[in-house]
């Protein structure tokens, strides 16, 4: 990297913006420095920009299109460097490449922009946006799809915490304790969500334990087991049905008790491939020499929340290979980033009347 990436002068160009933002850590909950850098970029191009009470970066403009992506990243130290036209660094793909491409396109076309916070943790930025902002006429969410692809759908998400308890006792006793009951419960969950091997990933519930802990309680009179869990909800299902299946496997907890507390429920989303936004992207991807692809992702994004609350055309788009999300090899080709800006700019100009 050359120059000082923190100065307004250094962030006037698209590549300088991306390099500076990737070099600025912004783990969920610590996005302030990256938000300030975005505000400086818009100010350098004579666009009003401000940070709201939760940390979102707003650059109001023509609401024919709202371009929005997230400022935060997951933790992880990926040394920032440019080698052979490729930028390495945490967030280069997820999602500072899409975020910066959208900031540049917003400056060039005059459309609205919001960089939201907390997407990797609790989507507090997107939730606040839905509570405080009117619906745009169209929305493009920023996540890596590859410059020549558009994402039309995501699975939903259900998250919760299982807690089981049993009376304490000597380890030689044959009765199962809360830890064993939790292991048995998870085994029943895996059986309950087993599917035909020919089913695609987007047609399945993916059940995943994120954290498993257990042992004697502090007072020594009980054994407790805790499991943090996530379930990805297929496109043709809903979170309520998945929740009912999970709860039906709790049983009576053997000699103890078991329950699950739900923390989050995000519905799946799938937009019409024949809509105006997919059509515009297909046309302009072809104009850039690409063969457009339409994707449905196995994960979940802020687009799920937007689609549940707003009735307007929307898709997700952005440069980068999503297989590199959250990995120690996260990197983005700068030529792909440049091309995605041209496509976003052309799509926005198509929609602004």
Which residues form the catalytic set?
72, 119
H-type alpha helices, the chain: 14-22, 32-44, 97-109, 124-132, 178-192, 239-248, 276-287, 302-309, 334-351
CA distance 53 to 200: 41
Tell me the three state secondary structure of residue 57: strand
Tokens of 66: 């709202």
Nearest to 158 by CA among 320, 304, 322: 304
State the virtual CA torsion across 135, 136, 141, 146 in degrees, nearest 10. Answer: 150
**What Rg value do the Cα atoms of the chain yield, rounded?**
23
Q: Which long-range contacts (CB under 8 A, 24 or more apart) does 177-181 make?
A: 177/223, 177/255, 177/256, 178/214, 178/222, 178/223, 178/224, 178/225, 178/253, 178/256, 178/258, 179/214, 179/215, 179/223, 179/225, 180/254, 181/225, 181/251, 181/253, 181/254, 181/256, 181/258
Phi then psi for residue 166, to 5 deg, are -150, 155
Residues 6+ apart with CB under 8 A from 274: none
Of residues 150, 144, 139, the one with CA closest to residue 114: 139
The angle at the Cα of 308, spanning 54 to 102, to the nearest 5 degrees, equals: 55
């Amino acid at each position: 990297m050359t120059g000082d990436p923190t100065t307004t002068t250094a962030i006037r160009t698209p590549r300088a913006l991306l390099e500076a933002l990737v070099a600025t850590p912004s783990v969920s909950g610590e996005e302030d420095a990256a938000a300030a850098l975005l505000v400086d970029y818009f100010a350098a191009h004579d666009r009003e920009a401000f940070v709201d009470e939760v940390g979102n970066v707003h650059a109001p403009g023509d609401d024919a299109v709202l371009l929005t992506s997230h400022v935060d990243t997951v933790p992880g130290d990926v040394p920032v460097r440019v080698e052979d036209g490729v930028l390495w660094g945490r967030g280069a793909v997820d999602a500072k490449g899409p975020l910066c491409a959208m900031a540049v396109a917003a400056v060039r076309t005059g459309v609205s922009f919001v960089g939201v916070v907390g997407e990797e943790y609790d989507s507090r930025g997107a939730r606040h946006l839905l509570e405080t902002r009117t619906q745009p006429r169209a929305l493009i969410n920023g996540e890596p799809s590859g410059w020549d692809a558009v994402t039309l759908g995501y699975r939903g998400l259900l998250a919760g915490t299982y807690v089981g308890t049993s009376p304490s006792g000597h380890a030689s006793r044959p009765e199962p304790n809360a830890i064993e009951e939790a292991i048995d419960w998870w085994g029943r969950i895996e059986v309950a969500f087993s599917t035909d091997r020919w089913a695609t990933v987007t047609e399945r519930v993916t059940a995943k334990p994120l954290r498993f802990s257990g042992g004697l309680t502090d007072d020594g009179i009980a054994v407790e087991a805790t499991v943090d869990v996530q379930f990805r909800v297929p496109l043709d299902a809903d979170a309520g049905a998945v929740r009912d299946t999970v709860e039906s496997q709790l049983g009576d907890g053997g000699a103890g008790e078991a329950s699950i507390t739900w923390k989050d429920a995000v519905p799946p989303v799938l937009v019409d491939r024949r809509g105006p936004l997919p059509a515009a992207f297909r046309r302009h991807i072809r104009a850039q020499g690409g063969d457009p692809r339409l994707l449905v992702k196995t994960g979940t994004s802020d687009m799920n929340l937007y689609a549940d609350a707003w009735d307007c055309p929307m898709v997700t788009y952005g440069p980068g290979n999503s297989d590199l999300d959250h990995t120690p090899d996260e990197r983005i080709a700068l030529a792909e980033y440049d091309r995605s800006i041209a496509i976003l700019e052309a799509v926005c100009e198509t929609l602004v009347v």
